[in-house]
Structure 1
Amino acid sequence: MNNKTVLFAAAAMLLTTHAAIAKKPGASLAQPVSFSSLQSRELEQSVLPLDKVFDELSFGEMDLLRNQYALLRNSEEPPYPTGGLQSIVGELNALQAKSGMRGELFAVISVDAAGNAQDVSWLMTPEQGSLEEIRSVLLAARFKPAKCGVKACAMEFPLHVDFGSRAL
């Protein structure tokens, strides 16, 4: 598995409409990204460290995370895995080793105000991957809850993991 995880999501694939979410505090949609337009340098700049928890992210890394949310207000914080991204990626790495899956995983994890993953929406799934096993890993993840002002709130967490290039 690539030792880098990039956060992205596409608003068009979410189950709720943009208008409905825009009216709900804390339910900000992530910005869509055109991968064909990304240069390798831009992609490298969009990588968050696996080993840091939310409070350890630098200002630049925090900006990178916040920039993934088009409607995130200044008074809001997105959810983030309590053990850092490695807590999720390590489990997915074990699944990859077992199944040999290749390709990219794009998912949006719905996180409630208590930091529990409630649902997973698929934007892209890897080849040879078991969606039920991946879903189990993502739903078992614990998150620092999102904040809307001073109050915990529900919000989505976009996740992109590259399991290596696909076989041609």
Structure 2
Amino acid sequence: MHLLPLLCLPLLLSVAATALHAQDQPRPAYSLRQDTPSTGTNIKRDIVTGGIVPYDKRYAELTPEQQAAVKALYEQLGPGDEPPFPAGGLAPILKAVAAAQQKLQVTGGLTMAVQVNPQGEATSVEVLRSPDPRMVQFVAAVLMLQKYKPALCNGSPCTMQFPFRMEFTRRR
């Protein structure tokens, strides 16, 4: 998708205005809890924290503010554009990754980009930052198996990347 450079200025100004407004109000951080508590406790712990949107919502179920937060991850999205998003929300992906983290105990950042075609299918995964090759292989497989809401470019389905970022830590 190519946009004229003149169209970028209003977009940058609106992002800047949104960022200034966001500084006035703290943005809620979303988390994902265990399905069942760990052995020896009745408390379900957070397994994923720090989300900018609820993990259990599909893109259409997000509020306009939450959709704007997702759109802010992209450099050039116009008014008729929408990014790709996991069709079932982020929770199924994050639960699978959290289960792998329980076994692998990786630390560090993971950044990947999933190429999503106009039919909502993942066609490739690009690894931009990796803490561990085993985790990369697992997460890439999970991301490739997902169905996505396709991106919209000027209201029509199009190919676009879905960014996936996680920071792994070990629980003490």
Structure 2 Cα separation of the partners of residues 46 and 52 of structure 1: 12
Structure 2 Cα separation of the partners of residues 128 and 155 of structure 1: 25
1:123 aligns to 2:103 (yes or no): no
Deviation, 1:46, is 6.8
Amino acid at match of 1:22: H
2:16 corresponding residue in structure 1: none
Residues 137, 145 of structure 1: alpha-carbon distance in 2 compared, 3 angstrom cutoff: same
Identity over aligned pairs, percent: 29
1:23-80 residue CA offsets vs partner (Å, 9 max, x unmatched): 7xxxxxxxxxxxxxxxxx7895972221111111111111111111111111111110
Q: Where do residues 63-142 of structure 1 align in structure 2 (5 Å cutoff)?
A: 63-127=68-132, 129-142=134-147
1:162 aligns to 2:156 (yes or no): no
Deviation, 1:100, is 1.6
1:22 aligns to 2:2 (yes or no): yes
Instruction: Give 1 or 2 for the bigger CA radius of gyration.
Output: 2
Q: Tell me the TM-score normalised to structure 2 length.
A: 0.67
Would the aligned equivalents of 2:80 and 2:154 in 1 still touch at CA under 8 Å? yes
Structure 1 Cα separation of the partners of residues 119 and 27 of structure 2: 34
Deviation, 1:144, is 0.5
Would the aligned equivalents of 1:105 and 1:126 in 2 still touch at CA under 8 Å? yes
Task: State the secondary structure of the residue aligned to 1:130.
Answer: helix
Would the aligned equivalents of 2:106 and 2:170 in 1 still touch at CA under 8 Å? no
Would the aligned equivalents of 1:145 and 1:153 in 2 still touch at CA under 8 Å? yes
Task: State the secondary structure of the residue aligned to 2:74.
Answer: coil
Would the aligned equivalents of 2:82 and 2:152 in 1 still touch at CA under 8 Å? yes
Comparing both chains, which one has the higher relative contact order based on Cα–Cα distances under 8 Å and sequence gaps of 6 or more? 1
Task: State the secondary structure of the residue aligned to 2:2.
Answer: helix
Residues 119, 63 of structure 1: alpha-carbon distance in 2 compared, 3 angstrom cutoff: same
Would the aligned equivalents of 1:101 and 1:129 in 2 still touch at CA under 8 Å? no
Structure 2 Cα separation of the partners of residues 67 and 133 of structure 1: 27
Q: Tell me the TM-score normalised to structure 1 length.
A: 0.68
How many residue pairs end up in the alignment?
A: 132
